[in-house]
Chains A and B, each alone.
Chain A
Amino acid sequence: MKKIFRYFKSMALLELLRGMKLTFSHMFKPKFTIRFPEERTPVSNRFRGVHALRRYPNGEERCIACKLCEAVCPALAITIESELRDDGTRRTTKYEIDLFKCIYCGFCEESCPVDSIVETNFHQYHMENASERIITKEQLLAMGDRMEEQISKDRRKDAAYR
């Protein structure tokens, strides 16, 4: 008896209709997907994306090669080499971040005494060769130069909570 009942129920395609009901109901609801890259989702000012090295308004790089970020980095993603610059200050000769090692924890930014290394809200990047995962000081500074406006805006927004 039970067998016959199940047979007719399956012939009536009830499950299918129930599923289609859900599908059709979504046709009238607002869409979650966006048309990337023309459209972008809003990003929090605290988002921790790819790194950048900042400069002072006079163009001088902020980083003083204190290596606190290198020391605090839990993934050992940062490599720094430093030397004495002619004006008597310590500056980096090499500042590299391995983006494959990085876990985007933000400790480097937390530890920086001069707000030099930051994690920007930019996260839409890719690389085609494995070797490109290591970003150099020049790339980091260029990133800082390009995004300075956004970086300082985000930092100002968060200042009240720090």
Chain B
Amino acid sequence: MNSPENKLVQIEINGITTQAQAGSMIIEAADLLGIEIPRFCYHPKLSIAANCRMCLVDVEKAPKPMPACATPVMEGMKVFTQSRRAEDAQRGVMEFLLINHPLDCPICDQGGECELQDQAMGYGRSVSRFSESKRVVVDKDVGSLIQTEMTRCIHCTRCVRFLDEIAGTSEMGGIGRGDSTEIGTMVARSIDSEMSGNIIDVCPVGALTNKPFRFSARAWELMARPSVAAHDGVGSNLYYHTRRGDLMRAVPRDNEALNQCWMSDRDRYSHFGLRSDARLSKPLLRDAKGKLQEVDWDTALNAAAGILKDSGESLGMLFSASAFNEEYLLARRLLDGLGSKRIDSRLRESAFADDATRLEQFECPTAEISTADVVLLIGSNIHTDAPILGHHLRQAWRSNQAAIYALQPRAYNYHFETAATSVVNPQAMLSSLLSMAAALGDDLESADLPAQIISAISSATADEFAQDTIKSLKAADNPLIILGNMANSHANADFIRILSQAISKSLNARINMISAGGNPTGARKYGAQPAADGLDVQQMLENPGKGWLLWDVDPELDFDNPAAARAALASGNMVAVGSFQSPLVTEFARVVLPLAAVAESEGSLTNFDGDRQPLSPAGKAPGMSKPGWKILRQLGSLTEVEGFEFIGLSDLQSTDEFKVRDNKELDKIAEVTGLQRLGEVGIYSVNAECRHTVALQESQLASLAAISMHPQDIEKHGLQAGASVCIRQAGENISLPLQADSSIAIGCALLPAAITATATLGSAWETIKVEAK
């Protein structure tokens, strides 16, 4: 039997003979030839619906026009896309589509970039023959991100199919029949997919538009500037649409290896946060009275350089994990020049004992995730860690029938079905991994493992979940283990990583670690993580030096342990470089330097796949803010450190440094008693840019200022759901409302990190006490 994939058939379109793959549709063959067939419902990444009928073409010997998107090519088929019959059909369909579509393009936000408007220019009549009254459909409120104008809907169902097939949330559907069909959300609520913004792009008309962008610009005024998103390490490609230097909106840029033609809401909407009033626009210097005063750049830089020089080898550099490669490289030069060994960008992590072995982070490239057949997810809500990776994993499940096993502290709402899930509290995740290692039996490659882990494995017994998972991974052709943000920020993340690496090695599985931040790969590669004899963030906060350089860090919200950060930063002189104001910086910093955001400056980001993607500025930075590399260059020359004599960024970009670290001392696996905190960082709390975006904070996925526990735990602690409770963590108290949530493992409580309500507390993964008020 001939496999349909490689069989070619000969067809003729408009008299041009061509070869097309058997089983493909006429519209695909025509697109390859560059013959234009009008369409609304057809989208190359979505299933075929053939319900708009706009692509009707004339096929020889067919009794009536055929939809090109749903008619497979046949040997010897002759297609005419512009014959009298085809054109009549297309014009007829267009007239019917326009019967119920308002003819008020000037007031529609899609005007100028509307597929219906474009096609109506080619196939519509110049004057409407329809004088009866038009259909009116009530607009649905689908949340803070998407504006609906359902009267404009032409029922192509692209949005429905996107949410069914790609996002996997099936939140929209068609209700009613014939003339009274309406597209809406199934249960009249908001669309909460983390990829929901894509329905704006697939909508061919103005029924679904970008809500925060609404009515602020017209399509023809905008310049598309290519850029890269820096909210997760995927490095999704996008275009910023700018008008007179202002970022107006973001749309996806096709890259089959990364984001395909999609984009996460975090990447799409977070740039609105750059317009926030909290943006820093002028350098600030603390005067004799202890007040921050606006000064010029020279004064501020001189003061900053003075502090850096003064601190010398005890200078601590705390970097955001979303900075540019060039900034990391220059920071490392500056640090080496000053003789300090304190730099880190893994601010949300607290366990670093495996630094030496933690090298290869991402063995399965993004594009190949969909080919995995058995996947083990460890501590990862992949859809919030990196929505695009979640999309690829969903494709593995959808098209490759991948069996997905998940070990997690909370039953995450995945957009795929798992083969088995184990929901246990954070500490029990370790025993679960030990049990998996035990299930490997003799297959376990224990040569490189530290002694205490080997002894822990030998005393563990393999439970059912561990046995199933290991059996399935063993039998797989293309097994993959994914460690998420939660696993990496876990209080014993080093154990988790060592165990997962041992398991993956023994099974010959690939392992992907999703580290937090927009450029974690670049941070490691270009020296923003401590060398063998350097101090990591934990050690730096424990032994604060004379000075600090904070780079795009909000000390209140960006650390694993904000209380420790506050205590450490209070001592020592602080130079804070950042894009946004933050209360602790205002309180402690001696010098504040305004930094241009990623979208506003030049540099490069390295994604999980290891590709360095250069960026050029898309928008203009507010006020006097400067790109990071210029700030560092001046700090470098003012402190008389070598390596800052370059002029442009291109002089820098050839350098590639890599540091290997020695093993640090591994702690014992601690016995944890009491209620463990699940300090998750919400999808829209990852960085200051997202936190200042009102539309994202108003959406359903934003972190709630509340504590959630399993109903059994609530009962056990004698509490009441809905009431406000007092939460104690290492001497600090806060009170928040208590919610019952049966998705959370017993023995732990979800208390989000990176929100103001919990900013006074300690580490995100300590034990807490919850008491009734």
Cβ of A66 and Cβ of B220 under 8 Å apart? no
B221 in contact (CB, < 8 A): yes
A71 to B111, CA, bound (A): 13
Q: Which of B261-304 contact A (CB under 8 A)?
A: none
Report the minimum CB–CB distance from B670 to chain A (whole Å).
Answer: 54
Choose, from B210-218, B251-259, B392-400, B583-591, the stretch at the interface: B210-218
A65 to B221, CA, bound (A): 13
The number of chain A residues with a CB under 8 A from chain B is 14
A68 to B112, CA, bound (A): 10
Task: Give 1 or 0 for each of B168-186: 1 = CB within 8 Å of chain A CB.
Answer: 0000000000000000000
Report the minimum CB–CB distance from A20 to chain B (whole Å).
Answer: 64
Cβ of A71 and Cβ of B218 under 8 Å apart? yes
A138 in contact (CB, < 8 A): no
Cβ of A82 and Cβ of B221 under 8 Å apart? no
Pick from A68, A70, A83, A84: contact of B106, CB below 8 A.
A68
Cβ of A64 and Cβ of B216 under 8 Å apart? no
Task: Give 1 or 0 for each of A14-55: 1 = CB within 8 Å of chain B CB.
Answer: 000000000000000000000000000000000000000000
A77 to B278, CA, bound (A): 34
B107 contacts across to A, CB distance below 8 A = 64, 66, 89-90
A84-B215 CB under 8 A given contacts A66-B106, A68-B106, A113-B106:
yes
Closest chain A residue to B109 by CB distance? A90
A71 to B219, CA, bound (A): 11
Q: Which of A64-92 contact B (CB under 8 A)?
A: 64-68, 70-71, 82-84, 89-90
Task: Give 1 or 0 for each of B105-120: 1 = CB within 8 Å of chain A CB.
Answer: 0110101000000000
A105 in contact (CB, < 8 A): no
Cβ of B216 and Cβ of A82 under 8 Å apart? yes
Closest chain A residue to B104 by CB distance? A113
B221 contacts across to A, CB distance below 8 A = 67, 70-71
A142 in contact (CB, < 8 A): no
A99 to B220, CA, bound (A): 24
A71 contacts across to B, CB distance below 8 A = 218, 220-221
A114 in contact (CB, < 8 A): yes
A114 to B106, CA, bound (A): 9
For A65, A89, A90, A113, which residue has the most chain B Cβ atoms within 10 angstroms?
Answer: A90
Closest chain A residue to B214 by CB distance? A84
A90-B215 CB under 8 A given contacts A64-B106, A67-B221:
yes
The number of chain B residues with a CB under 8 A from chain A is 11
A114 to B216, CA, bound (A): 19
Task: Give 1 or 0 for each of B184-221: 1 = CB within 8 Å of chain A CB.
Answer: 00000000000000000000000000000011111011
Report the minimum CB–CB distance from A53 to chain B (whole Å).
Answer: 15
A68 to B105, CA, bound (A): 11
Task: Give 1 or 0 for each of A113-139: 1 = CB within 8 Å of chain B CB.
Answer: 110000000000000000000000000
A45 to B632, CA, bound (A): 65
For B109, B111, B218, B221, which residue has the most chain A Cβ atoms within 10 angstroms?
Answer: B218
Task: Give 1 or 0 for each of B605-639: 1 = CB within 8 Å of chain A CB.
Answer: 00000000000000000000000000000000000
Report the minimum CB–CB distance from A72 to chain B (whole Å).
Answer: 11
A70 contacts across to B, CB distance below 8 A = 221
A89 to B214, CA, bound (A): 10
A90 contacts across to B, CB distance below 8 A = 107, 109, 214-215
Closest chain A residue to B218 by CB distance? A67
B218 contacts across to A, CB distance below 8 A = 66-67, 71
Report the minimum CB–CB distance from B532 to chain A (whole Å).
Answer: 55
A67 to B218, CA, bound (A): 7
Q: Which of B219-253 contact A (CB under 8 A)?
A: 220-221
A88 to B214, CA, bound (A): 10
Pick from A68, A83, A113, A114: contact of B215, CB below 8 A.
A83
A66 to B109, CA, bound (A): 9
Report the minimum CB–CB distance from A60 to chain B (whole Å).
Answer: 14
Cβ of A82 and Cβ of B215 under 8 Å apart? yes
A89 contacts across to B, CB distance below 8 A = 107
B217 contacts across to A, CB distance below 8 A = 82
B106 contacts across to A, CB distance below 8 A = 64, 66, 68, 113-114
Report the minimum CB–CB distance from B730 to chain A (whole Å).
Answer: 46
A70 to B220, CA, bound (A): 10
Closest chain B residue to A66 by CB distance? B106
Closest chain B residue to A84 by CB distance? B215
Closest chain B residue to A89 by CB distance? B107
Report the minimum CB–CB distance from A11 to chain B (whole Å).
Answer: 74
A64 to B107, CA, bound (A): 6
A82 contacts across to B, CB distance below 8 A = 215-217
A83 to B220, CA, bound (A): 16
A84 contacts across to B, CB distance below 8 A = 214-216
A65 contacts across to B, CB distance below 8 A = 215
Task: Give 1 or 0 for each of A89-114: 1 = CB within 8 Å of chain B CB.
Answer: 11000000000000000000000011
A118 to B221, CA, bound (A): 22
Q: Which of B67-112 contact A (CB under 8 A)?
A: 106-107, 109, 111
Cβ of A83 and Cβ of B111 under 8 Å apart? no
Closest chain A residue to B213 by CB distance? A84
B215 contacts across to A, CB distance below 8 A = 65, 82-84, 90
Closest chain A residue to B212 by CB distance? A84
Report the minimum CB–CB distance from A113 to chain B (whole Å).
Answer: 4
Closest chain B residue to A65 by CB distance? B215
A114 contacts across to B, CB distance below 8 A = 106
A68 contacts across to B, CB distance below 8 A = 106
Report the minimum CB–CB distance from A35 to chain B (whole Å).
Answer: 45
Closest chain A residue to B217 by CB distance? A82
A64 contacts across to B, CB distance below 8 A = 106-107
For A68, A83, A114, which residue has the most chain B Cβ atoms within 10 angstroms?
Answer: A68
For B107, B109, B111, which residue has the most chain A Cβ atoms within 10 angstroms?
Answer: B107
Report the minimum CB–CB distance from B103 to chain A (whole Å).
Answer: 10
Task: Give 1 or 0 for each of B507-540: 1 = CB within 8 Å of chain A CB.
Answer: 0000000000000000000000000000000000
A66 contacts across to B, CB distance below 8 A = 106-107, 111, 218
A90 to B111, CA, bound (A): 13
Report the minimum CB–CB distance from B193 to chain A (whole Å).
Answer: 24
A67 to B107, CA, bound (A): 10
Report the minimum CB–CB distance from B242 to chain A (whole Å).
Answer: 14
A83 contacts across to B, CB distance below 8 A = 215-216
Report the minimum CB–CB distance from A132 to chain B (whole Å).
Answer: 23
A71 to B220, CA, bound (A): 8
A75 to B221, CA, bound (A): 15
For B214, B215, B221, which residue has the most chain A Cβ atoms within 10 angstroms?
Answer: B215
B214 contacts across to A, CB distance below 8 A = 84, 90
Given A67-B221, A71-B221, 17 further pairs, Cβ under 8 A: A64-B106, A64-B107, A65-B215, A66-B106, A66-B107, A66-B111, A68-B106, A70-B221, A71-B218, A82-B215, A83-B215, A84-B215, A84-B216, A89-B107, A90-B109, A113-B106, A114-B106
Q: Which 7 A-B pairs have the closest CB atoms?
A: A66-B106, A90-B215, A113-B106, A84-B215, A67-B218, A64-B107, A84-B214
- 25 A-B pairs with C-beta separation under 8 A: A64-B106, A65-B215, A66-B106, A66-B107, A66-B111, A66-B218, A67-B218, A67-B221, A68-B106, A71-B218, A71-B221, A82-B215, A82-B216, A82-B217, A83-B215, A83-B216, A84-B214, A84-B215, A84-B216, A90-B107, A90-B109, A90-B214, A90-B215, A113-B106, A114-B106
